[in-house]
Amino acid sequence: MERKKNTVIVVAGPTAAGKTAMAIRLAQLLQTEIISADSRQCYRELSIGTAKPSPEELAAVHHYFINSHSIKEEVNAGTYEQLALGYAAEIFQKRPVAVVCGGTGLYIKAFCEGMDAMPKVPAETRERIRRQYEVYGIDWLQSEIKQKDAAFFEVGEIQNPQRLMRALEIIESTGQSILSFRKSNPVERDFNILKVGVTLPKTLLHENIHLRVDKMMDAGLVEEVRSVQDYRQHNALQTVGYTEIFNYFDGKLSIDEAVEQIKTHTRQYAKRQLTWFRKDTAYHWFDAREPGKVLEFVKSEL
């Protein structure tokens, strides 16, 4: 394959595996900067529930696409593609290497391969599905997707009703999984892409997830969610860590039940992230406890 002038190193993997620490070490070694690939950390109002890098971590290496937007704005994968390409071009003016780090698989795919055009959905189909969701709730949505689009159910954000409704709209309108519209020929980027996957043994990963959720609660997750109640229909808030606390506010769960659900749903999300990333055979996988091996591998590839 033709070697290009510049290289992007993608650091991906499940939540709570240690991606941020790994990316910072890489960026410091290569004297470069990081582009976040997290669909929620871009929002200034969401820090605790998104496990945003600490102020110390953000000070250690400059991060793009963190605290870059307000919850009053909508950001999607298409938006991210254009922003991230711009960030990369900015970094390449100074350094030949950039680091992309995050767990939002669709954003990474959009950046590396480009976004496919989605088919148009009849307004009546969209409205009918939305009305049914309002009546029957997320359990109904999950059941419909599991039955009609099992492929998406395996890897999609199944705690996110906006994503579920979008997938259901597509399958009902076209008879095809939403995933089938993400399989066209990738766009050829003008930089090399090196993909690094980091993870941990399942038991340790689950321990990290539980500890992280407990720390989020101690740090004031309930207060953070309360502060954005006016925007609870925003896509970024239809996600793990926020929906459970909203359900607590609505009297559907006790606070202890909400915390347990956050832990369960985060474990399930981590599993789906691994499924998504492992389908891409370009990833080179490492144990997050062995950063030296990642650093040596990257140096050998540049």
Give pLDDT tens digits for 204-221: 999 999 999 999 999 999
User: Does 2 reside within a domain?
Assistant: no
Q: Are residues 278 and 227 in the same domain?
A: yes
Q: Which residues contact 226 (CB under 8 A, 6 or more apart)?
A: 249
User: Does 263 reside within a domain?
Assistant: yes
Q: What is residue 127's predicted lDDT score, i.e. its pLDDT? A: 87
> Tokens 């321990």 map to which residue?
207
Q: Are residues 105 and 153 in the same domain?
A: no
Judged against a pLDDT cut of 60, whether residue 14 lies above it is answered with yes
As a whole number, mean pLDDT of residues 260-284 equals 96
Query: 7 among the known binding-site residues?
Result: no
How many other CB atoms are there within 10 angstroms of residue 32's CB atom? 20
CATH number of residue 72's parent domain: 3.40.50.300
Percent of the chain residues past pLDDT 90, beyond the cut: 80
User: Does 248 reside within a domain?
Assistant: yes
Give bridge partners of residue 43 from the DSSP assignment. Answer: 69
- Count of positions (residues) in the chain: 302
Q: Are residues 211 and 231 in the same domain?
A: yes
Query: 20 among the known binding-site residues?
Result: yes
Q: Are residues 209 and 276 in the same domain?
A: yes
Q: Are residues 204 and 290 in the same domain?
A: yes
Query: 15 among the known binding-site residues?
Result: yes
User: Does 284 reside within a domain?
Assistant: yes
CATH number of residue 136's parent domain: 1.10.20.140
Q: Are residues 55 and 162 in the same domain?
A: no
> Tokens 């207060």 map to which residue?
223
User: Does 224 reside within a domain?
Assistant: yes
Q: What is residue 183's predicted lDDT score, i.e. its pLDDT? A: 56
Give the model confidence (pLDDT) of 86-112 as tens digits: 999 999 999 999 999 999 999 999 999
As a whole number, mean pLDDT of residues 228-232 equals 94
Query: What is the chain's alpha carbon radius of gyration, rounded to the nearest angstrom?
Result: 19
In sequence order, which ranges of 75-177 are alpha helices (DSSP H)? 77-92, 105-113, 123-148, 150-155, 161-174
Strand pairing report for 63-64 and 34-36: parallel
Q: Are residues 100 and 218 in the same domain?
A: yes
Token duo for residue 204:
């340790």
Judged against a pLDDT cut of 90, whether residue 115 lies above it is answered with no
The count of structural domains within the chain is 2
Query: 17 among the known binding-site residues?
Result: yes
Q: Are residues 85 and 143 in the same domain?
A: no
Q: What is residue 121's predicted lDDT score, i.e. its pLDDT? A: 86
Q: What is residue 184's predicted lDDT score, i.e. its pLDDT? A: 63
Q: What is residue 4's predicted lDDT score, i.e. its pLDDT? A: 86
User: Does 293 reside within a domain?
Assistant: yes
Q: In what order do the strands lie in the sheet with 7-12?
A: 63-64, 34-36, 97-101, 7-12, 192-199, 284-287
As a whole number, mean pLDDT of residues 167-195 equals 88
What pLDDT band is residue 233 in, cutting at 50, 70 and 90? confident
Q: What is residue 80's predicted lDDT score, i.e. its pLDDT? A: 96
CA distance 288 to 80: 26
Give the model confidence (pLDDT) of 183-199 as tens digits: 567 889 999 999 999 99
User: Of 140, 166, 182, which closes a domain?
Assistant: 182
Query: 50 among the known binding-site residues?
Result: no
Q: What is residue 253's predicted lDDT score, i.e. its pLDDT? A: 97
Query: 292 among the known binding-site residues?
Result: no
Strand pairing report for 7-12 and 192-199: parallel
Give the model confidence (pLDDT) of 46-84 as tens digits: 999 999 999 999 999 999 999 999 999 989 888 999 999
Q: Are residues 82 and 195 in the same domain?
A: yes
How many other CB atoms are there within 10 angstroms of residue 1's CB atom? 4
Q: Are residues 84 and 191 in the same domain?
A: yes
What pLDDT band is residue 156 in, cutting at 50, 70 and 90? confident
Comparing 24-28, 149-153, 251-255, the range with the smallest average pLDDT is 149-153
In terms of residue numbers, what domain contains 145?
Answer: 123-182
- Max CA distance (Å), the chain: 59
Closest of 299, 156, 172 to residue 239, by C-alpha: 156
Torsion of CA 57, 63, 30, 188, to 10 degrees: 150
Give bridge partners of residue 63 from the DSSP assignment. Answer: 34
Q: Is the dihedral of CA 47, 195, 286, 23 positive or negative?
A: negative
Query: 13 among the known binding-site residues?
Result: yes
User: Does 106 reside within a domain?
Assistant: yes
Q: Are residues 28 and 161 in the same domain?
A: no
Q: What is residue 96's predicted lDDT score, i.e. its pLDDT? A: 97
189: exposed, middle or buried (C-beta count within 10 Å: 0-12, 13-18, 19+)? middle
Q: Are residues 207 and 296 in the same domain?
A: yes
Q: Are 246 and 232 in contact (CB under 8 A)?
A: yes
Query: 53 among the known binding-site residues?
Result: no
Give me the chain's average pLDDT, please: 94
CA distance 285 to 196: 6
